[in-house]
Structure 1
């Protein structure tokens, strides 16, 4: 029974890796398309602030996908999810949220909460990095 579950788990992880690879590839294509579209619309080669924020948001989404792929590769190879990689994905995700965030749409408490999340993630990442030497 355990051997069957291990094989099943491996098939599921390989399937997720394949699907995430397709998603990352499509996201890179989308990023390229948005970049070209924004660059060729008048004024040519000048990007507006909202266009830059969209591009940076897409760029960070691609990075999140790459980090998720790295996490799944490590899980496949070692059977363990590394907390450092999980924290890296979380930090990139919160950074993406901050890049595309319009502070006027959120209350002060929400912004403070996001700040607390950032500090907590950074502290956890620092502790793990320091523990590994």
Structure 2
């Protein structure tokens, strides 16, 4: 009988501890969400200043270089939005959504490819990015097909 009561007390303590840990996870997720909103707002302000400065003060003929930097800044904001979506999705469902993580990773690799200066990188870097895109794409397809089969 004592063993039973001891076991029940241990289970209650374990449940309290797990509830405490879950509360901390929620608190950290909420803080990360707020910080990510601050990062997104700062990135948008930075993009606005960059657009104003470079569109009006860039010498003629150098706009292509500026254009790739602008694309990079836009994609930074999209990546930040995807990360915010990951965090808020976790807050809603308490599950990390792997599909969103892979999509965010694909956007990050695409950003790297778009702003890549081909004069400064080696062939092995390009091969590595290609392998990363291929691996992420295959992962995304596997997850999408597994979700369709469950429904």
- TM-score using structure 1 length: 0.92
1:1-133 residue pairs with structure 2 within 5 A? 1-43=17-59, 48-133=63-148
The answer for unaligned runs of 5 or more in structure 2 is 1-16
Task: Give the secondary-structure state (helix, strand or coil) at the position aligned to 1:104.
Answer: coil
| CA deviation profile, 1:43-86 (whole Å, cap 9, x unmatched) | 58x87111101100000000000000000011111111111100
**Structure 1: how far apart are the matches of 2:144 and 2:21?**
33
Aligned partners of 1:39 and 1:47 also within 8 Å? no
| CA deviation profile, 1:17-51 (whole Å, cap 9, x unmatched) | 0001100111011111111111111558x871111
Runs of 4+ in 1 over 2 A off after TM superposition: none
- Name the Cα RMSD after superposition: 1.6
The answer for unaligned runs of 5 or more in structure 1 is none
**Structure 1: how far apart are the matches of 2:129 and 2:58?**
36
Aligned partners of 1:75 and 1:81 also within 8 Å? yes
